[in-house]
Amino acid sequence: MGRNLLKREQAITFVKETFSTHLKQALNLIPISSPLIVLDGTGINDDLNGIERPVSFPIKSLNEERAVVVHSLAKWKRVRLKELELEPEEGVITDMRALRPDEDYSPIHSIYVDQWDWEKAIHTKDRNLNYLKDTVNKIYSALLATEKAVEHQYPERKAILPDQIYFISSEELLARYPDNTPKERENAIAQAYGAVFIYGIGGELSNGFAHDGRAADYDDWSTDNDAGYKGLNGDILVWNPLLNSAFELSSMGIRVDKTALLRQLEIRNCVERSKLSFHQMLLTDLLPESIGGGIGQSRVCMFMLKLAHIGEVQVSIWDPERKDKLANEDIFLL
């Protein structure tokens, strides 16, 4: 078993190195260092859906000021763009490591999170749906190239992605499957097209509910009738036949400007967050316009290597009963 695990580790490394190389080239991204922890109360940590608890602890050398382990680097990266003085169409990428202790265990969820977190400065004129779609197509091209490379290196891992990714808004998806839950709609559209980008996630749809939750202060997901769009963010999903379900690889989007930030803080009833340091930087024009997202490293490895559980491609904490049950199914966690 040990040699098989070693071969799997080598395959994981191959996938990660191949995809990150293609992604950097596709989006013009520069690798940078990134934090595992940030100070609490700055507004820089990713709040995800706004309810998840971060790991928090006091720092003795800072008079017991509290720090939090990041959920992701959605807002930190935008500050870094400013600090590095990057111009539009220049971006950064980093190996993000995070902890999400409130995550529910499943074959695709762990409390340990590893992502390629990326962010790119853009022109104000590129805050539109066409630019978002063009960026998604570039990311998808990196996924296609990686899958072909994996098949060449490991012929038993057959490439299954379609040549193109399908685009649909969350509102259009609701109209197509009005009697289904959001997850059922995702499964239906992903199975129909193989790869899909659902955009406009976070805002209220015509049925009175959002397709999924989003924090108020990084992606621009709310309606702007004057600009003619409903949401400039979304998720990249592929159909995973091994799990018989839609499989999210990335959440991304064009980031909020001042107008969108205030609009979304009001929608979420958290206008008081506008006083935090990150939000003040944005509201006083100190941050660049940007687009960015996270791409799950373990998720990409799972999909490319045709594995059934996220614990097969990352080392996390699992309960012994779960590990034993999976081992009886010939699924061995790292």
- Cβ atoms of 265 and 217 closer than 8 Å: yes
Q: Which of 78, 100, 214, 263 is catalytic?
A: 100
CATH number at residue 271: 3.30.930.10
| 46: annotated active-site residue | yes
> What are 250's two structure tokens?
């990335």
Q: What backbone phi and psi angles, to 5 degrees, belong to 16? A: -65, -45
334 inside domain: no
What residue has token string 């955009």?
199
pLDDT of res. 1: 58
158 inside domain: yes
103 inside domain: yes
100 inside domain: yes
Of the candidates 289, 177, 303, the one whose C-alpha atom is nearest the C-alpha of residue 236 is 303
Burial bucket for residue 244 (CB in 10 Å: 0-12, 13-18, 19+) = exposed
3-state secondary structure of 252: strand
3-state secondary structure of 261: helix
Q: pLDDT tens per residue, the chain (334 residues)?
A: 567 888 999 999 999 999 999 999 999 999 999 999 988 888 787 776 667 888 899 999 999 999 998 888 888 999 999 999 999 999 999 999 988 888 888 888 898 999 999 999 999 999 999 999 999 999 999 999 999 999 999 999 999 999 999 999 999 999 999 999 999 999 999 999 999 999 999 999 999 999 998 889 999 998 877 777 789 999 999 999 999 999 999 999 999 999 999 999 999 999 999 999 999 999 999 999 999 999 999 999 999 999 999 999 998 988 888 888 888 888 888 7
Radius of gyration (Cα) for the chain, nearest Å? 20
84 inside domain: yes
Of the candidates 66, 65, 86, 69, the one whose C-alpha atom is nearest the C-alpha of residue 77 is 86
Domain residues for 131? 1-329
Number of domains into which the chain is organized: 1
| 115: annotated active-site residue | yes
pLDDT of res. 319: 83
Q: Which of 20, 46, 72, 119 is catalytic?
A: 46
